[in-house]
Amino acid sequence: MMDRVRTQERLIMKLCVEQCKMPKKNSLPLFTGNETSDTWFNAAIAMNKPWSEKLHDVSEEVHRALQKLQQIEEETGLTIEQVKDINRRMSIGEAKARRAKKEMVEANLRLVISIAKKYTNRGLQFLDLIQEGNIGLMKAVDKFEYRRGYKFSTYATWWNPSGDHPALSRIRRAPSVFRCI
């Protein structure tokens, strides 16, 4: 949805700023907040500036883009401003979640190393064990549910996915964190 909004807004700005040479400082204050209304466009034409006449030439394309923005508003039942605000808040939330996952993985890398030390000389090289453990740790971070009351280190150590890695399945009693691929 947001891609469609951005596409239409870019098209309008391209027509006004690049083709008609309307200064951005004039177009942005008029356009912002009036995304689906043509009053800003009519006001820009009425300014009697050198670019005002050129706006007449692109008015059909601008009106078509404005209609598409109005159609998006009708589909969503929200204004373009509300759609942008929801998208902004979702992006912030996703960034916070990524950052939290990264911190959780980094905070538990020592756990992987300490477990890997116990399983050296059992079929896989130490670095391979660490690599498999890190992959399992990342998957455990994705699937961890703190509401169940388990500590993450316990969950990560014993998390058991449906499929085991063939090289690790030969190692008897290896913690599941190393089989999480």
Over range 60-84, report the average pLDDT.
90
**pLDDT greater than 60 at residue 39:** yes
Give yes or no: residues 60 and 128 share one domain.
Answer: no
* Long-range contacts, 174-177 (Cβ 8 Å, 24+): 174/119, 174/122, 175/115, 176/136, 177/111, 177/112, 177/115, 177/133, 177/136, 177/137, 177/140
The answer, yes or no, to whether residue 126 has pLDDT greater than 80, is yes
Domain range for 125 is 108-178
- The answer to whether the predicted template modeling score (pTM) of the entire model surpasses 0.85 is no
Q: Is there a single domain that holds both residue 63 and residue 112?
A: no
Query: Residue 85's pLDDT is what?
Result: 94
The reply to whether 84 and 113 lie within a common domain is: no
Give backbone dihedrals phi and psi of 175, rounded to 5 degrees, phi first.
-60, 150
- Of 42-46, 62-66, 107-111, the poorest mean pLDDT is in 42-46
